[in-house]
Amino acid sequence: MLTDPDLEKNFLAVNLTSFELFKDDTVVLTAGHPFISKKSVIQYSDARLFKTTDLDWMIDAAYAQAREACSPELLKRIREGLIISDHAPQEMQEYLQRRIL
């Protein structure tokens, strides 16, 4: 989650995926965070709003896993990456800017 839920219970989220040459390399992560075991990237093209109820459903259906929070420094880096990524949807960039700036 890049944002806390808003008044409509929406929050902004992005995917973490394995590094491949054709993927957005705005933010590359390597092993070091407890659940990152290989070179990975944030897939900003998939950034979107979710409802808090969606998250509960995705976890229950095993489409997502609840994990420990990342460090404030990493969260800041991922947020900044969304703003500058050429692959991120513009409406998600604007939403993030409204919520955190």
Domain ranges of the chain: 10-100
pLDDT tens digits along 48-85: 999 999 888 989 999 888 888 888 999 999 999 999 99
Q: What is the pLDDT of residues 27-58, one digit of tens each?
A: 999 887 777 889 999 999 999 999 999 888 98
Half-sphere exposure (Cβ direction) of 11: Cα atoms closer than 13 Å: 14
Taking the model in full, what pTM does it have?
A: 0.89
Give the torsion sign (CA, 13, 93, 31, 70).
Answer: negative
Whole-angstrom Cα distance, residue 96 to residue 101?
8
